[in-house]
Amino acid sequence: MNDFAPAIIAALVISLMGGALSVFVVLKRLAFIGQGISHAAFGGVGIALVLGVYSSTMMGAIGQLGIVVAFSILAALWIAALTRTHHGRADTAIGVVLSASMALGFVLFTVAESGHAHDETGAAEHQDGHHLIEEILFGNILDTDWPRASIAIVVAIVILAIVWFIRRRLLFWAFDEPVVDAFGLSAKGLTNLFLVLLALAIVMAMQIAGVVLAAAMLVLPGAAALNLSARLKPVFMYSILIAVGGAALGMFIGIERSYPIGPTIVLTQSVMYLVTLAAKFTPGRSS
């Protein structure tokens, strides 16, 4: 079990972060944002491959992560700008950015592939690129080592600290964005900041567990928690408990049954969501 220690800690920390952010995502009806930013990261992967930045070395891995993070943040800001252009239609903005970024990523992957086809290192880089795309799509938490786990933990702590520090402003923005500016705050600034935090959280989750878990962690815990209560404090507590508890149970089932860990966690949290949905419509239930 010691071999799984970095994977377990990283999964639980990412779930804690996702549980806290998920409530805001659901309240703002940004459920598609995880898919949007996580798939937009393919554009960053394509840029890294074209530039010859591969993860086969420590410096290459750091450089690659930096490029993907930077591109994902730009994608998040692009989504925010398009949302304002489309009069608050975030779904349209996310769809545009997702489509364009994924297309760019795969075109650049082909360019990089053809550019290195005749190099001595071309075959190795070709395999490295394919392996990277598979990791991003599906991930494998059990491959997580201490360096990657440490990065995820530090980023999660920073994100959680920022969210805690501006929690009241974020709640005001989540519930009544149109009047935020009238009270001396910047709705545009809060939107941009929150989407940047989401981009960082999603990229970190992708590095550990792939797109499937990265997208799900921002929707399922918050949606399940809102089935259980209409009061904010219990909602955040439920969301974090469902996120962390679902991750722990999903990892246990996945390890014991040799199932893929990320999808097993998502299925576990999905079942928990269905249970809370049933509880929501139970006669005599109080909030």
Characterise 74 by phi-psi region: left (phi > 0), alpha (psi -120 to 50), beta (else).
alpha
The span from the first CA to the last CA of the chain, in angstroms, equals: 40
Across the range 144-161, mean pLDDT stands at 90
- Reported as a pLDDT band with limits 50, 70 and 90, residue 284 is low
Q: What is the pLDDT of residue 208?
A: 81
CA pair distance 230, 143, nearest whole angstrom: 39
210 or 280, higher pLDDT: 280
Model pLDDT for residues 24-40, shown as the tens digit of each residue = 999 998 888 888 888 88
Q: What is the pLDDT of residue 277?
A: 94
Residue at 47 is within a domain: yes
CB 75 within 8 A of CB 95: no
Model pLDDT for residues 161-170, shown as the tens digit of each residue = 999 999 999 9
- CB-neighbour burial class of residue 248 (10 A; exposed 0-12, middle 13-18, buried 19+): middle
Q: Residue 33: give its domain's CATH number.
A: 1.10.3470.10
Model pLDDT for residues 82-98, shown as the tens digit of each residue = 888 866 678 888 889 98
Model pLDDT for residues 224-233, shown as the tens digit of each residue = 999 999 899 9
Q: What is the pLDDT of residue 237?
A: 96
Residue at 22 is within a domain: yes
Residue at 10 is within a domain: yes
Residue at 284 is within a domain: no
Q: What is the pLDDT of residue 2?
A: 63
Q: What is the pLDDT of residue 262?
A: 84
Residue at 84 is within a domain: yes
- Reported as a pLDDT band with limits 50, 70 and 90, residue 159 is very high
pLDDT at 124 over 60: no
Give me the chain's average pLDDT, please: 85
SS3 255: helix
| Number of compact structural domains in the chain | 1
Residue at 285 is within a domain: no
Structure tokens at 35: 């898919």
Residue at 287 is within a domain: no
Residue at 134 is within a domain: yes
37 or 113, higher pLDDT: 37
CA pair distance 184, 65, nearest whole angstrom: 36
Determine the residue type at 186.
S
- Domain of 46 in residue numbering reads as 2-278
